[in-house]
Amino acid sequence: MKKDFLYLKIKSLIIISPTKLFFKKIKDALDLIQKTDLKEYRNIFSRLNIIFITNKNGYTNEFFMPEKIWFANKTLIKNNDINWLASLIIHEAFHATQFKNGKYIFPLGKKLEKSAIELQKKFLEKIEGKKVRKETKYLIQKKYWEKIEDDKKSLSYFRNLLDLFQNKKIKLSYKS
């Protein structure tokens, strides 16, 4: 498992990445959020502490509370466009509002996703109009997180990384 990563700080948000290639994409996505919806942009920084891009291939991602860390496998960042990434960041950050005392308010899954997807859709409509993306349909049809639940390897990989990170066993170098 890779234990040395690069990091970058945007306001209070820390971006951790296996390569500097992904920083621009995340920055562009944040810029787009700022340009499109200033309120959501400000929300990002209270809802999300860290975006942790792993060195693992695949699209699996998971948001951790109370740490407010979003883990995303690198293919997800690499193969998605800025609009979608921006909307996904809003979606994931929103999950932070669905916790109380470190626990999900709703049982994990359905209800929780519905309002996050709704917010994500609203954002995408602001940029792209009313057409619904195939990615959004995929999310709505729940295939997305069913697939994620299938990917047990990534989920334990994220937990492992979180553990290493909290025990300061991840080597972080500032991206210059």
Binding site for Zn ion (CB under 5 A): 113, 116
Residue 5 or residue 70: which is nearer to Zn ion going by CB?
Answer: 70
From the CB of 168, what's the least distance to Zn ion, in Å? 29
- Angstrom distance (rounded) from CA 31 to CA 38: 10
| Range 127-158 burial, b when 16+ CB lie within 10 A, else e | eeeeeebebbeebeeeebbeebeebeebeebb
The one-letter amino acid at 76: L
Residue with the closest Cβ to Zn ion?
116
Q: Which is nearer to Zn ion, 8 or 162 (CB)?
A: 162
- Smallest separation, CB 106 to Zn ion (Å): 12
- Nearest CA among 133, 66, 144 for reference residue 109: 144
Q: Which is nearer to Zn ion, 2 or 114 (CB)?
A: 114
Q: How far is the CB of 116 from Zn ion (least distance, A)?
A: 4
